[in-house]
Amino acid sequence: MMEHVIQTKNLTKKYGPATVLKNVDLTIRAGEFTAIMGPSGSGKSTLMNVLSTIDQFTGGEVWVEGKAILDLKKKSLRQFRQERMGFIFQDYNLLDTMTVKENILLPLSLRKYKSEEMEKRLQPIVDALGISEILAKYPNEISGGQKQRVASARAIVTNPAIVFADEPTGALDSRSATQLLAQLVDLNRAFGTTILMVTHDVYAASYCQRVIFLRDGGIVNELYAGEQNQRAFYDRILETQSLMGGKLR
């Protein structure tokens, strides 16, 4: 397994005269579950969009799995994104006309995978996420928490190098959020899935192994859970957030 999934050097992003990301040096290691936190306007969503190749950057360098993003042509970049990256969005992005199973397998169907291979990939993931009994249902027949777990399954069924999660608990109640976070931890451990999550929620961040804090477009702090339990890590994140000037929304 490659040690580093993502690396950036002097990463800069501008929108007109405004500099949103300022000389960001970042490394995401294979198998890490990392959160990005920061106040509104800190650049956290922009950073995720740049790292996931959805948005272009203005200066510096970005490598994903050792590939320099600037060296990839538009078609190659799109293919790379589809094959090596997974995405979990706050609003699920499920297709209402497809069953849960069809939604999960859609990325593989589009790539003409054989049904035997799709089934082989499907079962361990839906078992880990606790959604094997709803595969025949449609999105409008399941809860918000189940929808997010379906979206998570779809994100990792392609065996991506990294999963980008954009406020994945934002639309969930506390019970569903806790279940999803615990299952993301299980996926991270069981499959070695690298997860990069943008969140404003200290509780969600406390499930991660590492938390990166942004302010004014730059990294200002980071914490590692190490051997701490979740409660102790939660307290450290909360303290750091307080020292940075309040809630990181």
Q: Which residue has the tokens 């192994």?
A: 209
What integer best gives the mean pLDDT of the chain? 91
Percent of the chain with pLDDT over 70: 97
Q: Residue 239: pLDDT above 70?
A: yes
18: left (phi over 0), alpha (psi -120 to 50) or beta: beta
- Domains of the chain with CATH codes: 4-245 (3.40.50.300)
Strands (E), the chain: 4-15, 18-29, 33-37, 59-64, 67-68, 85-88, 162-166, 195-198, 210-215, 218-224
**In the prediction, which pLDDT does 55 show?**
92
* Cα dihedral across residues 178, 175, 126, 107: positive or negative: negative
- Please report, for residues 34, 43, 135, 164, 239, the alpha-carbon distance to residue 150 in angstroms, rounded to integers and kept in the order given: 21, 28, 9, 15, 34
pLDDT at 245: 67
Which has more confidence, 187 or 108?
A: 108
Beta strand spans in 16-161 (E): 18-29, 33-37, 59-64, 67-68, 85-88
pLDDT at 22: 96
Q: Is the predicted pLDDT of residue 249 greater than 70, yes or no?
A: no
pLDDT of residue 25: 97
The mean-pLDDT minimum among 20-24, 209-213, 238-242 falls in 238-242
Tokens of 130: 């606790």
Residue 212 is predicted with a pLDDT of 97
247 band by pLDDT with thresholds 50, 70 and 90: low
pLDDT for the residue numbered 233? 97
Q: Among 148, 157, 158, which Cα is nearest to 182's?
A: 148
Q: Is the confidence at residue 52, as pLDDT, over 60?
A: yes
Q: What's the pLDDT band for 37 if we cut at 50, 70, 90?
A: very high
93 φψ region: left (φ > 0), alpha (ψ -120 to 50), beta (else): left
Percentage of residues of the chain with pLDDT beyond 90: 66
E strands, 16-152, where?
A: 18-29, 33-37, 59-64, 67-68, 85-88
Residues 147/179, Cβ–Cβ less than 8 Å: no
End-to-end CA distance of the chain, in Å? 35
Report yes or no: 205 and 237 within 8 Å, Cβ to Cβ. yes
How do residues 156-206 score in pLDDT, each as one tens digit? 999 888 999 998 888 888 888 898 899 889 889 888 889 999 999 999 999
Closest to 31 measured CA to CA, from 207, 193, 219: 193
- What are the structure tokens assigned to 205, written together? 């961040």
Strand residue runs (E) in 113-183 = 162-166
Q: What pLDDT sits at residue 67?
A: 87
Over residues 63-76, the mean pLDDT reads 87
Instruction: Please report the pLDDT score of residue 246 as a whole number.
Output: 54
* pLDDT band of 78, cuts 50, 70, 90: confident
pTM assigned to the model: 0.88
Q: Which helix (H) or strand (E) holds 204?
A: helix 202-205
